[in-house]
């Protein structure tokens, strides 16, 4: 009996956990930005403005669910769902603690994540296309080029970790870090992975698909209500996912002294989310072509170099 | 009245100046020379000769700018003895930026039934919008203009608003109605047709995409629309569309008393505050022959510099915000709040104090003002250093702004660019230094310049100007003279009260000044200052009434915005945003 | 008989048919993605998770996105949809249909004759085995295809450069 209930429990808790984290991090972001920018941030709804999340959710739920008459209706509808689902599915293979993960031992877990991220691109691209709006189209085109490119660097940068751990299974990778977190031998890979993560979640300073100073709201210009809410949640779930991945791949996952595994995982993820927010507060946005050439001319050679060096070290250790 | 001639300027017609050179032109080119109250050499030229004259003037020296081009409807003018018959007079104001100030004015008389004149867009490219404006507001046709269409009023507007026979108030016309047909016509007029904007739909190997940026886009600083012709994200051409913020400020000047127009000027460049009062009241004072007491002059300078700081801070914050850096704008607006606190304590108002009066300022400085100002002078430089680390040294900011939106000094002069945008090209020219007004000659400050004339340099010049303004304010703080804050002159408004109940003469002046407003002697004058964004010039014509006969406001933003297409061709949308941010314009200042 | 596998197959066939018959290109591409996902699921069911993931990453996640990108760039409108409809009305589909049927027949014939065991419930083959096989017995194929890819890369770079220089 337990063997059936436990997986279902894990799935339900993970899904709601991710939703909760995404919702709370919207709040966290606004308060933290307030701190960084010498202003209070939302502080009126409930104690310390904590109920702002609920107020926002209510507003989005009860807003008119409007579809522009010139949009391509079916595609317009499924675009936000794709993005949201892709991020949620990724969490399925992230091992949060030794006993808590939906499919953490999937032997191609890391590839699964890349597959899902690849599908996540459709969300933004299709939203841009189906809105039938020029700003949205520009956002969609930027998204397609940016996200596919940075997926490449992300994939290449993580190969160092895969080689060092000898597995695509994320649980094996975490276990391989019992003694030494991969951020130390794989520092270059970690930096590239993190940068690519920022680009994949299209957060400032790499928020080109939205780029409100340039193209209005980009791919979700025409979205409102809960459909916009899905994009919004997917963005923050993506931030949480990216932080969770950096944690599991480079920061030793749940490993850490004294505290229980879950707390270690949560602390690391929380700090990374805060770092994401700090980035948003601190940096201006480069130009779109600068981002692309930075990726292809700097990140790509660096990540290849990382693979080369890691491979050499692994072979040397194996004594070939 | 002749004793109030500004002698330093009247001497401008001496040797070596443009005025002397023009006076030496062959006699058939000029009709006559007119003596004006501001002493700017003024020549009447027939419309057949004007192109030749202007070409000769431009060829006569380097860095000659068409500072202004405007028109006056002279049909109701009473005092114009000895001047050529004219219904519409087109006025060209040329200024040289080669050394100390040197300017000349040309007037071309036109008859109402034959109001057309040759365009000079090929001589000075910045005459394009100025001629369109003159056509829009006066109905003067400029033959040979590439795109003579409405610029400030909507395309469906009937009539030419600045003509004297056009109504000024809603009560002077039948009540406004909007029938269904009119709605349809207005909608049709909005339909976008690339050809009518001078753009092609296709190139050899691709279709262009037309993107309508604005009038309500987050980065266009107000209601400004620019239509982009795109190939991918590259801008093939950009056509600005303005006029959404047009309030008829020049028309309003013709129905307000000289005194009661002051608050309107505040709102021309709405982040410039009293900086807008400055040229206006100086112009009126010159017409009235009022000498402003030294204390009032220094109060004016100090407040104007505070507003320069405030305006430049807005520029800094919003430009950085446009480039995607979210935080500095909050810090910078906090500083601006400090500026407003001081301004509020002195003036009683924050953004639009309308603090200057004809003959001085509204009231004396409050007790304890110096402490506040001193605290601010110590506070801001540290903050500026911080922003320097945060913004100007940021590699992404540099990558976005260096080499973007470049123009050199010659191009700047051709396009009428003044102020920080001109100094960023390396030309050290500041009106406060080259033609000191209101006592700037006694103050020591540097004119910041840069070399490359790109967005980064324009930002850098703005920031250095904030520091220089702080220096000027410190001078005012340390050297504030005593004495009255307003001139003891019958035409100074509101007139000094204390003696009104003691002698009948003062009482009469007080009564007239307060009830009708002062009657300013007949004449015309230009009054120019180094405003926050460039040269802000008021050209005032008095016909000896209690209201202005013609008020022309030459705003820097209107002129600067015109070069946007030139700067943005071949760049990306993101560059356009950086360029728009760096030009530093305010739409109210553009549309008036 | 593996019911799940059959179900995936049905989905793949249905989605492919829809991908062919849609008149709006983006809709067609979306069905193609579904078809590819179904294929990936089949691979996984057959014990090849590595191949399944590569299918998703490379085909669904990258190549079709590029197709969508191109469709967005050229911005097809109403006239193109009508033209697409016209193609279905006439006999234009007969030729490709016959050829596809022929291919199908050959494929069925070939798989029937094949002696290789298809492990429907066999042990999953992980990435390590795939890697060892690729760089063991199939090393020549891998090297040849890398030549091909390099050539493709160079020529793509060349073409892109020439047009860039012209405009």
**Tokens found for residue C130:** 């795939």
* Interaxial angle between packed helices A2-36 and A261-282, expressed in degrees from 0 to 180 and rounded to the nearest 10: 30
**Tokens found for residue A187:** 């520092």
What's the whole-number average pLDDT of chain C?
A: 78
Check CB contact of C78 with chain B, cutoff 8 Å. no
Q: What value does the mean pLDDT take over residues C105-127?
A: 68
| Cβ-Cβ contacts under 8 Å, B231 against chain C | 167
Check CB contact of C164 with chain B, cutoff 8 Å. no
In angstroms, the Cα distances linking B48 to B28, B82, B115, B321 are: 11, 21, 13, 50
Cβ separation C61–A119 shorter than 8 A? yes
Closest residue by Cα to residue B329 from B409, B387, B271, B269: B387
**Tokens found for residue B423:** 């100094």
Cα gap B502→B496, rounded to integer Å: 12
> Looking at residue B207, what DSSP letter applies?
B
What three-state secondary structure class fits A80?
Answer: helix
Nearest CB among A204, A213, A280 relative to B577 is that of A213
Higher pLDDT, B388 or C112: B388
**Tokens found for residue C45:** 């069911």
Closest residue by Cα to residue B518 from B486, B540, B548, B488: B548
| Under 8 Å between Cβ of C112 and C104 | no
**pLDDT in tens for each of the 592 residues of chain B?**
333 334 344 444 444 588 777 777 777 778 788 888 888 888 888 888 888 888 888 888 778 888 899 999 888 888 888 888 888 999 999 888 887 888 888 989 888 888 888 888 888 888 889 998 999 988 898 888 888 888 888 888 888 888 888 888 888 888 888 888 888 888 888 887 777 776 777 666 666 778 888 788 877 777 888 888 887 778 888 888 888 888 888 988 888 888 889 999 988 888 888 899 999 999 999 888 888 898 898 999 999 999 999 999 999 998 888 888 888 889 999 999 999 999 998 988 888 888 898 888 888 888 888 888 999 999 999 999 989 888 888 888 888 888 888 888 888 888 889 989 888 888 888 888 888 888 888 888 888 888 888 889 999 999 999 999 999 999 988 888 888 888 887 777 777 777 777 888 778 878 887 888 888 888 889 899 988 888 999 999 988 888 889 999 999 999 888 888 888 888 888 888 888 888 888 888 888 8
Residue B157 φ/ψ, nearest 5 degrees: -65, 145
Residue A299 to chain C, least CA–CA distance (Å): 18
Q: How far apart are the first and last CA of chain C?
A: 59
| Under 8 Å between Cβ of A53 and A19 | no
Cα gap A159→A311, rounded to integer Å: 9
What pLDDT is recorded for position B309? 92
What three-state secondary structure class fits A320?
Answer: coil
- For A141, nearest residue in chain B (alpha carbons): B232
In chain A, DSSP finds a helix count (H) and a strand count (E) of 12, 0
Burial tier of B483 (Cβ tally within 10 Å: 0-12, 13-18, 19+): exposed
What pLDDT is recorded for position B368? 85
Cβ separation A286–B399 shorter than 8 A? yes
Domain boundaries, chain A: 66-318
Spacing of C-alpha C165 from chain mean position: 34
Check CB contact of B211 with chain A, cutoff 8 Å. yes
Chains that touch A (3 or more CB pairs under 8 A): B, C
Q: How many CB pairs below 8 Å do chains A and C form together? A: 85
Residue B572 to chain A, least CA–CA distance (Å): 9
Q: What is the ipTM metric for this complex?
A: 0.82
What pLDDT is recorded for position B466? 92
> Looking at residue B570, what DSSP letter applies?
T
Cα gap B433→B436, rounded to integer Å: 5
| Under 8 Å between Cβ of B357 and B481 | no
Cβ separation A118–C53 shorter than 8 A? no
- For A111, nearest residue in chain C (alpha carbons): C53
Closest residue by Cα to residue C68 from B467, A143, B562: A143
In the β-sheet with B550-554, what is the strand arrangement from edge to edge? B523-530, B535-542, B550-554
Cβ separation B217–A216 shorter than 8 A? yes
**pLDDT in tens for each of the 320 residues of chain A?**
567 787 788 788 888 888 888 888 888 888 888 888 888 888 888 787 788 888 888 888 888 888 888 888 888 888 888 888 888 888 888 887 777 777 656 777 888 888 888 888 888 888 888 888 888 888 888 888 888 888 888 888 888 888 888 888 888 888 888 778 888 788 888 899 988 888 888 887 888 777 777 777 788 888 888 888 888 888 888 898 899 889 888 888 787 787 788 888 888 888 999 898 888 888 888 888 888 888 888 888 888 898 899 888 888 888 76
In angstroms, the Cα distances linking B381 to B172, B369, B388, B467, B468 are: 53, 20, 10, 7, 11
* Interaxial angle between packed helices B455-478 and B573-583, expressed in degrees from 0 to 180 and rounded to the nearest 10: 20
Which residues are B88's β-sheet partners? B73, B110
**Would you report the helix, strand and coil content of chain A in percent, each value rounded to 5?**
70, 0, 30
Cα gap C27→A304, rounded to integer Å: 36
> Looking at residue A177, what DSSP letter applies?
T
Residue B550 φ/ψ, nearest 5 degrees: -155, 130
Check CB contact of C167 with chain B, cutoff 8 Å. yes
* Interaxial angle between packed helices B294-322 and B369-387, expressed in degrees from 0 to 180 and rounded to the nearest 10: 30
Q: Over 80: is that where the pLDDT of C19 sits?
A: yes
Residue C110 φ/ψ, nearest 5 degrees: -60, -45
Q: How many Cα atoms occupy the beta-carbon half-sphere of B158 within 13 Å?
A: 4
**Tokens found for residue A132:** 């039938």
* Interaxial angle between packed helices A187-200 and A225-250, expressed in degrees from 0 to 180 and rounded to the nearest 10: 180
Q: Which domains does chain B have, with CATH numbers?
A: 2-152 (3.30.460.80), 249-591 (1.10.645.10)
What pLDDT is recorded for position B311? 92
């Amino acid at each position: 009996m337990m063997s059936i209930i436990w997986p279902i429990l894990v799935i339900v808790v993970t899904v709601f956990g991710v939703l909760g984290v995404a919702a709370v991090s919207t709040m966290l972001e606004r308060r933290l930005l307030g701190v960084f920018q010498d202003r209070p941030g939302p502080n009126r709804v409930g104690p310390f403005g904590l109920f702002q999340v609920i107020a926002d959710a209510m507003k989005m739920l009860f807003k008119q669910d409007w579809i522009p008459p010139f949009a391509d209706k079916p595609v317009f509808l499924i675009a936000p769902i794709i993005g949201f689902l892709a991020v949620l599915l990724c969490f399925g293979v992230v091992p949060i603690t030794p006993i808590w993960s939906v499919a953490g031992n999937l032997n191609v877990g890391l590839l699964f994540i890349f597959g899902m991220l690849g599908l996540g691109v459709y969300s933004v691209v299709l939203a841009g296309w189906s809105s039938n709006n020029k700003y949205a189209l520009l956002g969609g085109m930027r998204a397609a080029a940016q996200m596919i490119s940075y997926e490449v660097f992300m994939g290449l940068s993580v190969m160092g970790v895969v080689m060092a751990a000898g597995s695509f299974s994320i649980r094996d990778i975490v276990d391989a870090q019992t003694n030494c977190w991969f951020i130390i031998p794989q520092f270059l890979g970690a930096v590239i992975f993190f940068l690519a993560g920022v680009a994949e979640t299209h957060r400032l300073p790499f928020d080109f698909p939205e780029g409100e100073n340039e193209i209005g709201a980009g791919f979700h210009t025409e979205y409102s209500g809960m459909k916009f809410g899905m994009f919004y949640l997917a963005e923050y779930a993506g931030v949480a996912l990216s932080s969770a991945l950096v944690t599991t791949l480079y920061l030793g996952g749940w490993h850490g002294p004294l505290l229980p595994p879950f707390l270690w995982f949560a602390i690391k993820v929380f700090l990374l989310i805060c770092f994401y927010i700090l980035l948003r507060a601190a940096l201006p946005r480069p130009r779109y072509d600068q981002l692309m050439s930075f990726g292809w001319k700097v990140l790509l050679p660096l990540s290849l170099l990382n693979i080369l060096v890691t491979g050499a070290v692994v072979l040397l250790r194996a004594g070939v | 009245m002749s004793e109030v001639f500004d002698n330093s300027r009247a001497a401008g017609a001496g040797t070596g100046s443009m005025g002397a050179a023009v006076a030496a032109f062959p006699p058939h080119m000029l009709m006559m020379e007119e003596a004006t109250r501001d002493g700017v050499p003024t020549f009447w030229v027939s419309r057949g000769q004007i192109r030749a004259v202007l070409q000769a003037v431009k060829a006569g020296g380097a860095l000659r700018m068409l500072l202004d081009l405007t028109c006056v409807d002279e049909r109701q003018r009473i005092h114009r003895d000895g001047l050529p018959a004219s219904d519409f007079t087109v006025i060209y104001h040329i200024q040289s930026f080669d050394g100390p100030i040197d300017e000349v004015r040309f007037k071309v008389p036109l008859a109402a039934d034959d109001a057309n004149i040759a365009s000079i867009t090929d001589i000075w490219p910045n005459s394009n919008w100025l001629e369109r404006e003159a056509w829009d507001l006066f109905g003067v046709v400029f033959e040979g203009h590439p795109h003579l269409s409405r610029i400030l009023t909507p395309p469906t507007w009937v009539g030419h608003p600045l003509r004297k026979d056009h109504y000024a108030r809603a009560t002077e016309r039948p009540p406004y109605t909007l029938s269904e047909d009119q709605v349809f016509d207005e909608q049709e007029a909005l339909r976008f047709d690339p050809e009518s904007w001078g753009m092609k739909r296709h190139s050899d190997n691709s279709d262009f995409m037309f993107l309508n940026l604005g009038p309500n886009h987050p980065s266009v600083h107000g209601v400004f629309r620019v239509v982009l012709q795109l190939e991918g994200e590259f801008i093939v051409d950009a056509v600005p569309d303005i006029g959404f913020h047009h309030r008829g400020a020049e028309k309003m000047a013709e129905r307000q008393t000289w005194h009661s127009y002051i608050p309107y000027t505040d709102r021309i460049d709405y982040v410039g505050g009293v900086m807008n009062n400055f040229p206006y009241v100086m112009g009126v004072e010159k017409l009235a022959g009022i000498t402003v007491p030294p204390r009032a002059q220094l109060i004016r300078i100090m407040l104007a510099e505070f507003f320069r700081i405030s305006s430049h801070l807005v520029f800094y914050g919003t430009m950085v915000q446009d480039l995607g850096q979210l935080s500095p704008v909050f810090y910078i607006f906090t500083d601006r709040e400090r500026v407003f606190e001081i301004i509020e304590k002195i003036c009683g108002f924050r953004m639009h104090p309308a603090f200057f009066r004809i003959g001085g300022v509204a009231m004396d400085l409050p007790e304890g003002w110096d402490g506040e100002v001193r605290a601010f002078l110590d506070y801001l430089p540290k903050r500026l250093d911080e922003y320097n680390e945060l913004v100007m040294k940021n590699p992404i900011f540099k990558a976005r702004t260096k080499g973007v939106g470049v123009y050199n000094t010659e191009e700047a002069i051709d396009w009428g660019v003044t102020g920080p945008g001109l100094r960023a090209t390396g030309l050290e020219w500041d009106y406060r230094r080259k033609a000191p007004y209101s006592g700037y000659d006694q103050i020591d400050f540097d004119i910041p310049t840069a070399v490359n004339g790109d967005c980064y340099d324009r930002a850098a010049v703005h920031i250095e100007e904030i520091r220089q303004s702080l220096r000027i304010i410190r001078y005012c703080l340390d050297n504030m003279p005593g004495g009255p804050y307003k001139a003891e002159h019958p035409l100074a408004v509101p007139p000094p009260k204390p003696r009104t109940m003691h002698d009948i003469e003062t009482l009469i002046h007080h009564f007239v000044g307060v009830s009708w407003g002062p009657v300013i002697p007949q004449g015309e004058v230009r009054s120019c200052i180094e405003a926050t964004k460039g040269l802000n010039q008021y050209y005032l014509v008095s016909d000896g009434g209690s209201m202005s006969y013609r008020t022309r406001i030459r705003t820097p933003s209107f002129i600067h915005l015109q070069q946007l297409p030139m700067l943005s061709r071949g760049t990306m949308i993101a560059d356009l945003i950086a360029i728009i941010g760096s030009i530093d314009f305010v739409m109210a200042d553009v549309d008036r | 008989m593996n019911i799940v596998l059959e179900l995936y197959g049905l989905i793949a066939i249905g989605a492919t048919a829809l991908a062919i018959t849609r008149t709006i290109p983006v809709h067609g591409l979306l069905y193609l993605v579904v078809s590819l996902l179904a294929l990936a699921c089949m691979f996984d069911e057959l014990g090849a998770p590595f191949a399944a993931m590569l299918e998703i990453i490379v085909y669904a996640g990258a190549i079709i996105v590029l197709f969508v990108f191109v469709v967005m760039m050229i911005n097809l409108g109403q006239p193109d949809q009508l033209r697409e409809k016209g193609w279905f009305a006439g006999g234009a589909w007969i030729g490709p249909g016959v050829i596809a049927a022929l291919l199908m027949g050959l494929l069925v014939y070939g798989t029937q004759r094949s002696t290789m065991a298809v492990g429907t419930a066999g042990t999953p083959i992980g990435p390590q085995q795939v890697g060892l096989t690729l760089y063991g017995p199939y090393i020549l194929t891998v090297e040849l295809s890398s030549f091909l890819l390099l050539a493709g890369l160079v020529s793509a770079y060349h073409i892109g450069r020439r047009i860039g220089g012209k405009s």
